[in-house]
Amino acid sequence: MKRILLTFMVIVAGLAMTAPDASAQSGNRNGSTDRGQSNMDAWQRDMAEFRERSAERRQLEELTDSIASVQAFAAVKNQDFVLEAQSVQFRNGTTVFVNSTTNFISVKGGRAVVQISPSNFASGPNGVGGVTVDGMISGQEYRVGKKGVATYSFSVMGIGINAQVEIYLTPGTNQASATIYPNFNSNTVWLQGAIVPYENSNVIEGSSL
């Protein structure tokens, strides 16, 4: 009987010792749940703020592109612009990323300058790494297609060199491409860049041929 009573007392003591541990574990689980919910709420708030900031940036970018587009189309239509090239592609398919200050097409008051200077190391005939054609405009034409793409074409007659130029302006932006057909050879050149009003450009003009 004593042995049974002693065994019962040991079991009761063990239960008394383990009861606080179970309560603590329950509290830990509740605390973990609360922290998890708090972290989830903070993450959702951060994502909402991020989406709001992203939407504001997109609206600002769209507004900036719209203003640049309006300025570019007006500048081309008024024949008072510069196409500052970021890349030049040659007939053999080679594309070169170039300095926009020395690679450009400018039109101002019936005068045009076409300058291709892909080299940063050789001076070239124009002194800035390439060729510059400076002359008066003739045969100019401006038109806007059904999809809003504006095309401006003209001939420029320099001293001993003539070239036909076609510029295509993408709607909604100030981005443009141009094709230059020299009359003295078949080395057609393509330019890709941005249209800016003439007074906003900082190009460097070399010595013309």
**Reported pTM:** 0.70
For residues 102-120, one letter each, b for 16 or more C-beta atoms within 10 angstroms of the residue's C-beta and e for the rest, the string is bbbbbbbeeebbbbbbbee
Closest CA to 129 of 174, 107, 99: 99
State pLDDT tens for residues 189-203. Answer: 999 999 999 999 999
Q: Residue 100 in contact with residue 203, Cβ under 8 Å?
A: yes
The residue range of the domain holding 192 is 1-209
State pLDDT tens for residues 70-81. Answer: 999 999 999 999
pLDDT: is 104 or 54 the higher one? 104
State pLDDT tens for residues 88-147. Answer: 999 888 999 999 999 999 999 899 999 998 876 566 777 777 888 899 999 999 999 988
pLDDT band at 38 (very low <50, low <70, confident <90, very high): confident
State pLDDT tens for residues 17-34. Answer: 544 454 445 555 556 677
Number of domains making up the chain: 1
Concatenate the DSSP letters of all residues of 40-54 into one string.
HHHHHHHHHHHHHHH
For the domain that residue 160 is a member of, what is the CATH number? 2.40.128.410
